[in-house]
Structure 1
Amino acid sequence: MSADVAASLSVLALVVVVSDVTRRLLIGARADTGLAAYLGELVSTFQLCCCTHELKLLSDAGGIEPQLALTLTYLAAVVHGLTFRGAIGNPSGVLVHAYHARFPAGCALRRIACQFGAAAAARGAVRLVWGIGLSELHVRHRLLGFHCSSPVRAPLTKAAGVELVCAFAVQTVITCTQRLEEKFRVHAVAAAITTMVYAGGSVTGAVLNPAVAFSTQFLCTGPSFLENCFIYWLSPVLGMLSSVLLSDKVSAVLWTTSSSPRLPLSSKKAA
């Protein structure tokens, strides 16, 4: 294992541990108030964005093998799923919950605001960490002014389509695994995310999360702000909501079919 990889893994571990301790303390202290959910979104989205920044840097400039990058993506997704403690960390996911009336509109908007606030904070925090120079990779990145290039390698409509399809696929897995125990479900969702990163990563990075995209992609050279909004905000939301609408439609049809009255065999013969 190279020194750059070891340093990045140390940063990832530190972010997860500090975030988990902070989350437990804050939620425990505010458990009897309405702030616990919002604090959970703040800390969890911060954790997610910081880890994504580090993984993106390691993958883009660290020269690691694609297999290792995908493995780290899978492991990170599992860790996030096991430590979020009910937080969503994705504005698209909040909108899905709001669509199902699990959140009032005001609560959903406040959660999304917390997520984007945490995304902005994570962008500044990782630059402070990189500025310390824990590895040669961090030092090089600091000397380049923390410059990054957009992973978009396709025309606008194709890039948006990739994000939409990837978000659709991941949301479908999330919906289909709702009845699994959480310790098994996180692996299924992590596998879906990793598969989408493998399939669409070379086109858009397969970010699938508007808050994470805001933190990791919007300051990179490449598409304009509006183009990024179209690719990384609108497309994942449409993909997830399309999956939910289709799932609800299929469930309604199956429920209607299974609950429709059936005539006895003798009645059918008489008819």
Structure 2
Amino acid sequence: MTDTLLALAVSTLYIILTSLIAFWSRKYTEYYVRDSFLKSLFLEGIATAELCGACFELIIIADNWGVSMYAIYLFVLTIWWSLNWGDATACPYTHLEELVEGKKSARNAFLLIWAELVGGLVVFRYIQLLWFLEIVPTHKDRAFEDCTTDLQVPVIYGAFIECIATCMCRVASRVLGDLNPRFATAIDSFVGTSLVVAAFNYSGGYFNPALATALKYGCLGTSFMEHVIVYWVGACAGSIASISVYKMSFVQNFIRQQKQKVV
């Protein structure tokens, strides 16, 4: 029991350490980088590194303490990220949405996506170092272990799951942004975490191409094309579809009704 609690405490401390490093990296970036777009590139890279670094450790938590414990940590972390990332999203499809809506140029969108991928891929070396220390048994042999895919269903089903869940997440976020209810951040986090848990045993529930690539690209059981179809095409298609779903009359009517109730 003591060993189990110690292992969980170490995983928790690693997540906190990662968050603190990202927190101060953001502070230094905001203070020293003057060019607004260059600052955005750094902040996206830092946010994605923080996201992926924490989620690497969440894999350890899920493997050893189950999906329920994983969900609790993810819920709290999602709130933390919402409160600290500012305009950074650590998610490629948000930039594609703005590209489709004409709010962002193709050049800027793809540079931001590139920054996110760099942040997500580079952070594994940092995590690998922490795991290599093997302070607790749950990290034993994890630093250089061959990873395996989380995709437990046929590729087309996995892509469909990532697509639908991503669409639901994005529509919920847009509606909450419009209504701005009390505890909106917590509600958004709850919706996202619930969808992740629902998809956990099917596609892994990533709903973020950069996160999926950082954690699972090249893992045993999924080819390059299968990874792209499920975690890039599926998630991005769901994100783009959310723009149209959000504009549908039943969604807009719901928003108007809720605003009228407040008035």
User: How many residues are treated as equivalent by the alignment?
Assistant: 253
Is 1:224–2:223 an aligned residue pair?
A: yes
Alignment-derived partner of residue 75 in structure 1: 76
1:17 pairs, out of 11, 15, 20, with: 20
Q: What letter matches 2:44 in structure 1?
A: E
SS at match of 2:168: helix
SS at match of 1:169: helix
Alignment-derived partner of residue 39 in structure 2: 36
C-alpha displacement at 1:190, in angstroms? 1.0
Supply the distance in 2 between the matched residues of 1:185 and 1:20 (Cα, whole angstroms). 22
Supply the distance in 1 between the matched residues of 2:124 and 2:182 (Cα, whole angstroms). 30
Supply the distance in 1 between the matched residues of 2:182 and 2:92 (Cα, whole angstroms). 23
SS at match of 1:2: helix
Structure 1 length normalisation: TM-score?
0.87
Q: What letter matches 1:211 in structure 2?
A: A
Supply the distance in 1 between the matched residues of 2:179 and 2:246 (Cα, whole angstroms). 17
1:50 pairs, out of 46, 50, 53, with: 53
Runs of 4+ in 1 over 4 A off after TM superposition: 180-183, 251-254
Sequence identity, in percent?
18
Pair 44,153 (structure 1): closer, same or farther in 2 beyond 3 Å: same
Alignment-derived partner of residue 108 in structure 2: 107
Alignment-derived partner of residue 166 in structure 2: 167
Q: Deviations over 1:16-74 (max 9, x none)?
A: 111011111112211454311111101111100111111012212xx203321111111
Is 1:2–2:5 an aligned residue pair?
A: yes
C-alpha displacement at 1:173, in angstroms? 0.7
Residue 207 of structure 1 contacts residue 213 of structure 1 at CA under 8 Å; is this kept in 2? yes
Supply the distance in 2 between the matched residues of 1:93 and 1:34 (Cα, whole angstroms). 16
Q: Which runs of 5+ in 1 are unaligned?
A: 255-271
The structure number with the bigger radius of gyration is 1
Pair 42,183 (structure 1): closer, same or farther in 2 beyond 3 Å: farther
SS at match of 1:133: coil
Cα RMSD, aligned residues only: 2.3
Q: Which runs of 5+ in 2 are unaligned?
A: 254-263
Supply the distance in 2 between the matched residues of 1:35 and 1:29 (Cα, whole angstroms). 11
Residue 132 of structure 2 contacts residue 141 of structure 2 at CA under 8 Å; is this kept in 1? no
Structure 2 length normalisation: TM-score?
0.89
C-alpha displacement at 1:167, in angstroms? 0.5
